[in-house]
Structure 1
Amino acid sequence: MEKVHLTGKEKSELWGEGLITVILLLMLNLAVVVLGKQMIASDPHLQNSIWGIKNVLTFGQNNVHFWSWRNFFVGVMAVVDAIVVYWRLIRRYRQMQMRHVIAELHYIADGHLDHRIHFEVNNDLQKVISSINALVDSTVNSMEEERRIEKSKDELITNVSHDIRTPLTSIIGYLGLIEDKQYQNPDELVKYTHTAYLKAKQMKVLVEDLFEYTKSRQTTTPLNAVEFNMVAMLEQLAASYELEAEKKGISIQVHGDPDPLMMEADTEKLSRVFNNLIINAFKYGKGAKNLFLDAQKVGSEAIIKVSNDGDPIPNDSLSQLFDRFYRVEGSRSQETGGSGLGLAIAQSFISLHGGYIYADSTPELTSFVIHLPLKLGTTLKKPQ
């Protein structure tokens, strides 16, 4: 903070204000004295009772003069005059401070949003300055957030357009071959039709995931909360994926502590989260032999881990896993490449519940760790 630096003109105005005030007060004092003398001269009784009393206080046996009413009156007038001059100068100085603050405010309003007012002024004006700076900070943050959202929308449209155009091009291409009867035999016709069908399904998955992602990002999305046993839910998920796990040579193991682990949540949305994590483990957990579903109660939260012992995720990819359309390099083939929205959807649904999710990967185990409050309505703070 720095004090307001007055210009030469403002200093002259301040001196002029003080000089004019002193002159006016001297004239007022003179008028009061003259008027008082005239009143006393015209009234003998008043002269004897007040102005005529020369010494109202004495000191010692010799009656040394200590004070007189006349001197007392002059002293009071001097004090009052000094207060008036000080008040007038402070008032004018604060007006000048306000002019400087307004000038700073106009400078910010002209587009210099990185500028802030750093004046050291009186308490009331200081509160105004603090409010102005806070308002500018809030405005800048809102503008940056709006730009970020706009950029995010543009990226979303670009990515969706790219991912939809690829299968759509294939569908049009194969259907065009069929339309032009450019096939040699019925088997080739079936092949073209089947490929177009698979590409159409791929588009359908992308559109559904995009719709789900958009819905999950809305903070007004309602949660149909029910009380349930998290361990039982994981066991049901394990049973539903048992056949697929057997085909891939993966064993699914469920563990809960305690069992039952009762909590409140929207089970439909949590099922989507766990489905995405399990499918990801099947697709990208290359070489995995085990899939672990663990639930543990710690204080007022439940910690759920979906882990596999397949190949680890590179460290430079861990922080980007939950970004929209992000896929770890090496998993972009048509066989494994999904919409790239599954983990972003999972993160959004977990956030709606007041929890958080992160990934951890070592050579031994790759885990997606979810922290959820046991009671809906509580928000957990993710440690830094």
Structure 2
Amino acid sequence: MKLTTKEKTELFGEGVVTLILLLLLNLAITVIITQSIESNPGLRDGIFIIKQSVTFGPMHFHLLSWENLFILAMGVIDVIIIYWRLIRRYHQMQLRHIISELHYIANGHFDHRIPFELKGDTERVIQSINALVDSVIESMNDERKVEVSKDKLVTSVSHDLRTPLTSILGYLGLIEDGQCKNQDEILKYSHIAYLKAQQMKQLVDRLFEYAKAGDKSKPSQEIDNIDVNALLEQLQASFKLDASKHGMSIEMKPLKKNVWIKANAESLGRVFNNLISNAFKYGKGGKNIYLSAKPEGKNGVEIVVANDGEQIPKRSLEHIFDRFYRVEESRNTKTGGTGLGLAIVREIVTNQGGYINVSSTKKLTAFKIYLPLDVNHPLQKNKRMTGEANEKQEK
């Protein structure tokens, strides 16, 4: 920390004033002691005898006179006092600089941090202040992102609800005004309004599902022990009929050894239902859906849902898990996509302690989900212990 000229002058003045006061005090004490010794011959003679009888060193030096000893002692004490006073005033100046920096930050300069480095407790105070400011700024930025996110959410929901609602009101208005020529037109218009209402309901249901998946305040979900190979087999059996209706087949590649993961079975079911349904809906030209799993590190497993359908554009890959984001080619009333499905998938996987990513080429589009193993599952625990024992024997 650099002192200003004014502060250096203040510090110098503090030292000079302290020195003058100490010299006056030393002089007063010297005069008092001198007068006391001079007025007491016995004390004066005793000091002289002690001085003559006490020697030190090979040259038998005598002690200094009491005046010199007193001056030496007072000089040491004076230096200590002056140093203490200057250090104390310097610490006050440091505190004044810190307060000035805090006022500067509080006036809206949130990108500023206390720049100087000190020692001891004062340095820890500065580090704590800078860390606190960083935390506050991060919270403010998060709050701004939440506000922006809310605005985008309202805008997207308004747009997606207004479009089918306008159609519903339009067709029902035609019926209400009696502009239908016959019963067939009434049924036609009411059926279109019904389909648009179904589209609105799907969006509302997706919104509710997304809010439920991302709600951190709700009680923790029940965690189940899930056999990965059994899960893959169940998914293959459950979607086999739907796959054949879409002209596709589901192929499954299990793990060589059974492993168990910790997750909520109902939530995980929604994840794979969403991914496989998307493969049917958007995997144009695809003939196969591939389900597979492989170990990921010592305490995880990677489950892959892939299809050989149309490639996802590269510009869309980094946004595909965003709310209301839809690949342009798939945003139509036929598919009825809400743009929330994959956002829900990511929220659920994250809440289960895992993560998801996607890759897409002309040959294959793959969603890869990492989930933690249930290391405390009895069978898995026995396998790990057996494996460790085998490793020790091999060594």
TM more than 0.5: yes
Which residue does the alignment assign to 2:184? 187
Which residue does the alignment assign to 2:101? 104
Which residue does the alignment assign to 2:331? 332
Equivalent residues of 2:311, 2:361 under 8 A apart: yes
Q: How far apart in 1 are the matches of 2:308 and 2:373?
A: 28
Which residue does the alignment assign to 1:382? none
2:108 corresponds to 1:116: no
SS of aligned partner of 1:199: helix
Aligned ranges 1:223-372 → 2 under 5 Å: 223-258=221-256, 260-298=258-296, 299-372=298-371
Equivalent residues of 2:284, 2:309 under 8 A apart: yes
Aligned ranges 1:189-204 → 2 under 5 Å: 189-204=186-201
Instruction: Note the C-alpha offset of 1:234.
Output: 2.7
Instruction: Note the C-alpha offset of 1:110.
Output: 1.1
Q: How far apart in 2 are the matches of 1:311 and 1:43?
A: 115
Residues 142 and 340 (structure 1 numbering): CA distance in 2 closer, same or farther, change over 3 Å?
Answer: same
SS of aligned partner of 2:306: strand
- 1:83 pairs, out of 65, 80, 86, with 80
The residue type equivalent to 1:267 in the other structure is A
Residues 138 and 51 (structure 1 numbering): CA distance in 2 closer, same or farther, change over 3 Å?
Answer: farther
The residue type equivalent to 1:158 in the other structure is T
Residues 65 and 50 (structure 1 numbering): CA distance in 2 closer, same or farther, change over 3 Å?
Answer: closer
The residue type equivalent to 1:328 in the other structure is V
Equivalent residues of 1:355, 1:371 under 8 A apart: yes
Instruction: Note the C-alpha offset of 1:54.
Output: 3.5
Which residue does the alignment assign to 2:217? 220
Q: How far apart in 2 are the matches of 1:79 and 1:29?
A: 12
Aligned ranges 1:56-205 → 2 under 5 Å: 56-60=54-58, 63-65=60-62, 67-205=64-202
The residue type equivalent to 2:262 in the other structure is E
Equivalent residues of 1:171, 1:200 under 8 A apart: yes
Q: Which has the higher helix share?
A: 2
**Cα RMSD (Å):** 1.9
Equivalent residues of 1:58, 1:67 under 8 A apart: no
Equivalent residues of 2:232, 2:254 under 8 A apart: no
Instruction: Note the C-alpha offset of 1:111.
Output: 1.2
Instruction: Note the C-alpha offset of 1:53.
Output: 3.7
Equivalent residues of 2:299, 2:375 under 8 A apart: no
Which residue does the alignment assign to 2:38? 41
Greater CA deviation, 329-338 or 349-358? 329-338
Greater CA deviation, 20-29 or 32-41? 32-41
Count the aligned residue pairs. Answer: 373
Equivalent residues of 1:59, 1:66 under 8 A apart: no
Equivalent residues of 1:258, 1:297 under 8 A apart: no
SS of aligned partner of 2:330: coil
Which residue does the alignment assign to 1:4? 2
Query: 1:322-359: per-residue Cα shift (whole Å, max 9, x none)?
Result: 00011112111111241100000000000001100000
The residue type equivalent to 1:253 in the other structure is E
Equivalent residues of 1:178, 1:192 under 8 A apart: yes
Q: How far apart in 1 are the matches of 2:347 and 2:375?
A: 15
SS of aligned partner of 1:257: coil
Greater CA deviation, 63-72 or 332-341? 63-72
Equivalent residues of 1:225, 1:266 under 8 A apart: yes
Instruction: Note the C-alpha offset of 1:52.
Output: 5.6
Q: How far apart in 1 are the matches of 2:16 and 2:278?
A: 83
Structure 2's unaligned 5+ residue stretches are 377-395
SS of aligned partner of 1:220: coil
Q: How far apart in 2 are the matches of 1:38 and 1:167?
A: 110
Q: How far apart in 2 are the matches of 1:164 and 1:26?
A: 88
Instruction: Note the C-alpha offset of 1:149.
Output: 0.3
Equivalent residues of 1:175, 1:193 under 8 A apart: yes
Q: Identity rate of aligned residues, in percent?
A: 54
Instruction: Note the C-alpha offset of 1:367.
Output: 0.2
The residue type equivalent to 2:305 in the other structure is V
TM (normalized to structure 1)? 0.92
Query: 1:294-314: per-residue Cα shift (whole Å, max 9, x none)?
Result: 123332112100000111111
Instruction: Note the C-alpha offset of 1:240.
Output: 2.5
Q: How far apart in 2 are the matches of 1:101 and 1:237?
A: 62
Query: 1:3-26: per-residue Cα shift (whole Å, max 9, x none)?
Result: 2332x3322222221111111101
Residues 51 and 64 (structure 1 numbering): CA distance in 2 closer, same or farther, change over 3 Å?
Answer: closer
The residue type equivalent to 2:100 in the other structure is A
Instruction: Note the C-alpha offset of 1:364.
Output: 1.4
Residues 33 and 208 (structure 1 numbering): CA distance in 2 closer, same or farther, change over 3 Å?
Answer: same
